[in-house]
Structure 1
Amino acid sequence: MNMLLKSFDTTHDTSPFAKIKNEDYIPAFDAAIADTKKEIDAICENPDPATFENSIEALSFSGMHLDRISNIFFNLHSAETNDELEKIAQEVAPKLADLSSDITLNEKLFERIKAVYDRKAELGLTQEQDTLLTKYYLDFVRNGALLPLDKKEELRKIDQELSVLKLHYGEHVLADSNAYQLHISKQEDLAGLPEGIVEAAHELAKEEGKEGWIFTLDYPSYIPFMTYADNRALRREMAIAAGKKAYQNNENNNTDIVLKIVNLRHQRAQILGYASHAHFILEERMAKDPETVKSFLGDLLAKGKPAALREFDELSAFAKELDGLDQLEKWDGSYYSEKLKQQRFNLDDEKLKPYFKLDNVLNGVFDIAHRLFGLNFKEVGTIDKYHPEVQTFEVRDDHGGLVAIFYADFFPRKGKRNGAWMTSFKPQYRLHGVNERPHVSIVCNFSRPTPTKPSLLTFNEVTTLFHEFGHALHGMLADTTYPTLSGTSVYWDFVELPSQIMENWCYEEEALKLFAKHYETGELIPMEYVEKIKESASFLEGLATVRQISFGMLDMGWHGQDPSAIKDLKAFENEQFAPTQIYPDVQENAMSPSFSHIFNGGYSSGYYSYKWAEVLDADAFDYFKQEGIFNPEVARKFKENILSKGGTVHPMELYKAFRGQEPSVEPLLRRAGLLD
């Protein structure tokens, strides 16, 4: 029995992970693709004149079975993959790309969409219906509906090739990440490392049947090693290993794939009549065009670089005084930053960790969501999981109504890619009078519990949890009719607002008091620590700002121009990084081969949106600060105008409805300590 081919007879229609077998996927995808084609054919062959209901609405609700299977499969492909799933992904990706092309290049379907679009002024549509109609019309035009047949076929081939290249890219990054281990056998090489990190490394070695300690490129292992290990040679080895993921002389090298992807994206944009891939992407962003993005990043760089250079000189002088270092290298940055932070603020992440037990932080973010948005989280054991470590929750409102299903997956595993992300297994939408509620998940890579300690988070991991939970709120509180406009289906440079604003509560005493309690004694975090957290929030912010800007500039470099003349990836990167370069270059390393956000995620021509959304989140949180961080009226406005509306209204209109004005950059510069 293939569970993916029938309705799920499960609690709240949740995904039946335990009953899905790997061999189920290909037949399920094939059947669901065939069903989707039938649904599209039914729209095209309808003898009645095209209307919003029989064409646009019907299209919006087509392919939902396929979307459900895709959500399950590709989420597992990121969080719980194996060789078999990777083979399936390579077989499925071109089929899905083909179907997408079949739909967007379907002339009969476009004729019906255009017929409705041409009459939209007289149809009396709601704002959401108007947005959906306009979105479909533009999606088809932007994907070649107006092109001649030969160009349509060219586009189809490019989309197929890109779908497979992106898969290979991600698999290579994961393979190189998993392949590297730093195996330490001498106790003295552990100098400086916190006890919990050493214990976790020893546990990993034991699991692998080895003596000593093993450190990996997984963030909970890599970041503490780079921050605390006194052995500079080993820090260098780790940093170079991380920086050459998918950029080594092996079968996982992504250099050619990067060049192929950027050239195919450019060719695609040119076929569609755009100057570059960035011009194509940014047409549907708040920023609108590459010039605006470059100007935005340039203005921030002008404000941030003087501070970054001062901070680098200060850090260099500190390292020279402490250890006689003549040149600060990339593998020294985190180490001496932490030492300087400890000296200046008497604040050590290791002192803070006992107050940030994962369970307490999770309950804290739940409590904050209750105070702001009236949400109640209850862990339940009746919902199937794709891995035993995943936690499952019912989310209800104060009247007991189901708001969402929430999955939380917190620890690194071999089949799980690095980083942290929010995703969904089922979107919110309304159909046949029923408001279908979403199934939302956050996936992170936090420090595991050890035999002697629970999972204790660094402050950075605390803000990561709040960040991803902000995305989850955007998905959970969605209240729209059409799945294509629901939750996080918004402009890419707006999607980070709900996530980034949530991080602000981590710095507020009133919020920290809810969850920052010592895991052994239950003692509340000392208020002097809270003050130090706030004081240190803008510590070395100039360097952090310039680093983020450099990633945005590299993204625009690849996608904002014709890349066909680029033959040497490393030389090109150096050229792009020149305006933001602070640390000396590391010859063996390159960023692009493992810059998954832009080559395997959705951020191509969009990495700037993290800084863009920081302007929004600083301005929005400034409003909360003025009225009170748990002010019910401000929270209601944020929920109703930002979190529930999805992509039904232009984001600037939503923002102004919440804030009463357009955002100002001043709160961000003030928060970052970059105002003169």
Structure 2
Amino acid sequence: MLRYSSPDPASRQASEEACALVNEDQAAFTARSDFWPLLKAVKEACQEISLHFEARKYLDKLFLEFKQFGHGTLQPVQIHEYLERRNYIDGMRRKYNQRIREDSGGLWFSLDELASVKQHDLDRFGKDPEKHDMRFVRFSAADSLVVYRNASESATRKRMYVGNVNNLSQNAKLFKNIVVERDLNARLLGYESHAAYRLEKRLMKTPAQVESLLADLHDRLLARGQHDMNLLMDLKRKESRESIKITEDDVNAIFPWDYWYYARLAEQHLHVDPEQVAEYFPLQHVISGMLEMFSEFLQLCFCPISQEQLDGSAWHDDVQAYAVWDGREASKGRFIGYLYMDLLSRDNKYKGNQNVNLQCGYLKNDGSRVYPATLLMCSFPPPAPSACTFLKHSQIMSLFHGKKHRKIQLNTQELSRSELGHGIHDLLARTNYVAFHGHRSPPDFAEALSVMLEKWCWMKPELKRLGLHYTSTDLHLKEKWLRAHPGEDLPPERIPDDTIERLIKGRQVTRSLWYLRQLVYAHFDMKVHHPRSHTELRNMDSTKIFNDLLEKLWLVRAPQPQDQGYPHADLGHLVSGYDAGYYSYLRRVDLNLTIKND
């Protein structure tokens, strides 16, 4: 955890080194040829013995891990080769992700270039003490999405995008090396690809099954996606008639940097202003409301831990923590675990949203239980002085159920691997072994669970409960609003019913394009992890493949070659456990959603 969030460089480095040692030790254990015959003998003997289902599951898991290390098929020298290459891959993965976490790049824009960006966002952007009309916009999701959604100048949005996809260019070579070395190891073990190797432990067992799922979803989504893209192009053409800055070439295409801007305009056509809606969802009020909802639904008690109690045990002053207790009558007062929250973006912190297990729950040998601790880690923008952080509706959805995210190129802050829903799963899990605790289940199962909570974000009573205008949460904020709006009445304390109804009605606006965009990532994942041959992979132009997928699947116009950059230089999912697994975010669509094309 400290490598993701500690403000202390020495702590981050020590955490990186400790993780490397743990991974190397686990790999060295699984490489032990002397343990393999013992494991085989135990597995064979246990065929005739009645074992607890979790014990048998653990034995099967351990057996498969040793099998996937080459035991039973490879010679000792080949197992050593596999181990050396695996450790080499892990080192590259750590470097790749460390660059993403510690990146502080961005671009300077003039206030004219940032026309239409809200004042509260301009206030929190970096400032040049000598050039008061300049603002520094980081490549983080918190900042770049503001530009993509709000900057009315297409050139500004394009410069943000091109800068973003070129920002971590040094990671592109690392990414290529990682997928090439993975493919070599998989083929050494006798698998046709790295995807075939990884999927053996997933619910979908073969690349063919995954590719069939992706093809089916594409067929079901394409017609609606084309309809929605035409809607965005109509909005762009309308704007072009009012602006000489959009060329004839540009007007007939939506580029990647255009999507968020015109998607926002499409929402506004339903009289839904995401910025105004966000004013009803101040971060701390939303967190409190969500915990109340989980408390009632699951009969849990979330007891805040004071800052004094956290002193010395928390890694940053922003950290909040709760002790969680069972509220059911039959087991009232039983301890559940600890929930930590670290919600605001800062330098050298993980750039997206994720749930991090701090301690797994399990049974000790004496029968006593170790209780879990889990961390909700987000990168919401810190407020400007005398202000507060607002959440857009999509960000509330990410808090509830979680989808993976890195940076705002094509995924949005809607995407985060596992937020509060996964954190609650982590807390409530009761297993005998660490190996099966919480969301240590296959990702194509764990991600399907999270979507069930999404419905709360589209239910009027729940939105009404969460929606409280920020001026009602703090007297100073109220006074500041009144000074900025002389003679005007305060906004309603609770989010108006008609606003909620329009928000719910707008759920389907460009929704198909959101899923088609995820198909880009899922297909790219399979392209690099399931090539037809190792030679094909070595010769693969990852940038071209990615941009071809943009046009084919997402229906946007790919940038010119000089503007394409290295979008795969920031795909942390594919080097952090979701390799040959990005389809998991779409499998839950297949399991939980009915896609309508009318």
Pairwise same-fold verdict (TM > 0.5): yes
Give the count of matched residue pairs. 536
Question: Which residue does the alignment assign to 2:32?
Answer: 106
Q: Measured at CA, do residues 354 and 575 of structure 1 come closer, stay the same or move farther in structure 2, by a change above 3 Å? A: closer
Distance 1:138-1:199 versus aligned 2 partners, 3 A rule: same
What corresponds to 1:218 in structure 2?
A: 140
1:407 maps to amino acid: Y
d(CA) in 1 for partners of 2:320, 2:13: 28
**Partner residue, 1:331:** 257
Q: How does 1:76-91 map to 2 (within 5 A)?
A: 76-80=2-6, 83-84=9-10, 87-88=13-14, 91=17
How big is each residue's C-alpha offset from its partner over 1:449-493, in whole Å with a ceiling of 9 and x where there is no partner? 222322111112111211200110110001111111111110110
Given candidates 150, 167, 173, the residue that maps to 1:245 is 167
Which position in structure 2 is the counterpart of 1:442? Answer: 376
Provide closer, same or farther for how the CA distance between residues 501 and 481 of structure 1 changes in structure 2, counting only shifts above 3 A: same
Alignment partners' CA distance in 1, 2:535 and 2:347: 36
**Long gaps (5+) in structure 1:** 1-74, 248-252, 619-666
**Which residue number in structure 1 is paired with residue 579 of structure 2?**
604
1:469–1:499: 8 Å Cα contact kept in structure 2? no
Change in Cα spacing, 1:320 to 1:494, as seen in structure 2 (3 Å) is: same
Residue 227 (structure 1) aligned with residue 183 (structure 2): no
CA 497–81 in structure 1, closer or farther in 2 if over 3 Å, else same: farther
Equivalent residue number for residue 183 of structure 2: 266
Distance in 2 (alpha carbons) for counterparts of 1:366 and 1:99: 39
**Following TM superposition, by how much is the alpha carbon of 1:105 offset from its aligned partner in structure 2, in angstroms?**
1.5
User: In structure 2, do the counterparts of structure 1 residues 370 and 210 end up closer, same or farther at CA, with 3 Å as the change threshold?
Assistant: farther
Tell whether 2:535 aligns with 1:564.
yes
1: CA distance, partners of 2:566 / 2:225: 22
Which residue of 40, 49, 54 maps to 1:123? 49
Which among 501, 506, 511 is matched to residue 541 of structure 1? 511
Q: Which of 72, 80, 85 pairs up with 1:158?
A: 85
Compute the TM-score of the two structures, normalised by the length of structure 1: 0.76
* CA–CA distance in structure 2, aligned partners of residues 358 and 572 of structure 1: 39
Task: From 399, 402, 409, give the equivalent of 2:335.
Answer: 402
Alignment of 1:331-410 (within 5 A): 331-343=257-269, 345-381=270-306, 382-383=309-310, 384-398=313-327, 399-410=332-343
Which of 411, 418, 439 pairs up with 2:351? 418
Q: CA contact under 8 A between 2:157 and 2:257: conserved in structure 1?
A: yes
1:488 aligns with 2:428: no
What does residue 136 of structure 1 align with? 62
Counterpart CA distance in 2 for 1:106 and 1:273 is: 19
Of 152-161 and 581-590, deviating more is 581-590
CA distance in 1, matches of 2:578, 2:179: 13
User: Cα distance, 1:437 vs. partner?
Assistant: 0.9
Which digits, 9 at most, give the CA deviation of each residue in 1:121-159, with x for residues without a partner? 322111111111111111111122222101111111111
Q: What is the CA distance between 1:524 and its match in structure 2?
A: 1.9
Deviation, structure 1 residue 369: 0.9
Query: What TM-score results when the alignment is normalised by the length of structure 2?
Result: 0.85
C-alpha distance in 2 between matches for 1:408 and 1:329: 36
What is the alpha-carbon root mean square deviation over aligned residues? 2.0
Residue 390 of structure 1: CA displacement? 0.9
Following the alignment from structure 2 to structure 1, what is the Cα–Cα distance between the partners of residues 238 and 392? 28
Preserved CA contact (<8 Å) 1:219 1:418? yes
2: CA distance between counterparts of 1:149 and 1:138?
A: 18
Name the CA shift for 1:514/1:434 in 2 (closer, same or farther; >3 Å). farther
Residue 514 of structure 1, CA deviation: 2.5
SS of the residue 2:506 aligns to: helix
Superimposed CA distance per residue, residues 560-610 of structure 1 (whole angstroms, 9 cap, x where no aligned partner)? 1234333333234345555315112123323211111102x1110000100
> Aligned pair in 2 of structure 1 residues 93, 465: CA closer, same or farther (>3 Å)?
closer
Tell me by how many angstroms 1:500 deviates.
2.4
CA distance in 2, matches of 1:277, 1:508: 42
| 1:179 paired residue number | 105
Aligned CA distance change for structure 1 residues 159 and 255 (closer, same or farther; 3 Å):
same
The whole-number CA distance in structure 1 between the counterparts of 2:11 and 2:522 is: 32
1:527 has 2:527 as partner: no
- Asked if the contact 1:182–1:214 (Cα under 8 Å) also holds between the matched residues in 2, the reply is yes
Which stretch of the first structure deviates more once superposed, 472-481 or 375-384? 375-384
**2:486 aligned partner:** none
- 2:489 corresponds to which residue? none
User: Per the alignment, do residues 536 and 369 of structure 1 end up closer, same or farther by CA in structure 2, a change over 3 Å counting?
Assistant: same
Letter in 2 for 1:459: H
What is the alpha-carbon distance in structure 1 between the residues aligned to residue 574 and residue 437 of structure 2? 23
Q: How far apart are residue 322 of structure 1 and its match?
A: 1.9
Which of residues 3, 17, 22 in structure 2 aligns to 1:96?
Answer: 22
Distance across 2 between alignment mates of 1:244 and 1:563: 27
3-state SS, counterpart of residue 404 of structure 1: strand
- Secondary structure of 1:145's match? coil
**5+ residue gaps, structure 2:** 402-418, 474-492
Structure 2: distance between partners of 1:181 and 1:288: 44
Distance 2:106 2:135 in 1: 14
* 1:646 paired residue number: none
* Aligned partner letter, 2:173: D
What residue identity is the alignment partner of 1:238? M
Any conservation in 2 of the 1:470–1:501 contact (CA below 8 Å)?
no
Amino acid at match of 2:571: F
Q: CA deviation at 1:296?
A: 0.5
| Equivalence map 1:19-38=2 (5 Å) | none
How far 1:82 sits from its partner (Å)? 5.8
Residue aligning to 1:316: 233
Letter aligned with residue 450 of structure 1 = A
Tell me, in whole angstroms, the C-alpha distance in 2 between the residues paired with 1:95 and 1:564.
33
- The question of whether the paired residues in 2 share the 8 Å contact of 1:405 and 1:439 is answered with yes
1:535-558 CA-partner distances (Å, limit 9, x unpaired): 111211121111111110000000
Moved more, 464-473 or 140-149: 140-149
When residues 195 and 244 of structure 1 are mapped into structure 2, their CA distance, relative to the original with a 3 A threshold, is: same
Within 1, Cα distance between the matches of 2:184 and 2:29? 21
The answer to whether the 8 A contact 2:4-2:349 is kept is: yes
Residues 225/575 of structure 1: CA separation in 2 closer, same or farther (3 Å cut):
closer
Q: Contact 1:488 / 1:495 at 8 angstroms: preserved in 2?
A: yes
Instruction: Give, in whole Å, the separation in 2 of the partners of 1:576 and 1:582.
Output: 9
Q: Distance in 2 between matches of 1:605 and 1:165?
A: 18
| One-letter amino acid matched to 1:254 | N
Q: 1:210 to 1:134 in 2, by over 3 A?
A: farther
Distance (whole Å) between structure 2 residues aligned to residue 502 and residue 581 of structure 1: 26
Displacement of 1:214: 2.2
Contact 1:93 1:163 in 2 (8 A): no
Q: Does structure 1 residue 582 correspond to structure 2 residue 533?
A: no
Output the amino acid matched with 1:571.
K
Q: Secondary structure in 2 aligned to 1:592? A: helix
Q: Distance in 1 between matches of 2:542 and 2:88?
A: 21
Give the conservation status (yes or no) of the 8 Å contact 2:105–2:167: no
How big is each residue's C-alpha offset from its partner over 1:322-371, in whole Å with a ceiling of 9 and x where there is no partner?
2334233221111111112101x100111111210111111111111112
**Identity over aligned residues, as a percent?**
23
Is the deviation greater in 351-360 or in 492-501?
A: 492-501
Which secondary structure does the structure 1 equivalent of 2:444 belong to?
Answer: coil
Q: What amino acid sits opposite 2:558 in the alignment?
A: D
Which residue number corresponds to residue 279 of structure 1?
A: 196
3-state SS of 2:358 partner: strand
Distance in 1 separating the partners of 2:545 and 2:135: 38
Which of 390, 406, 427 pairs up with 1:476?
Answer: 427
The structure whose RCO (Cα within 8 Å, separation 6+) is larger is 2
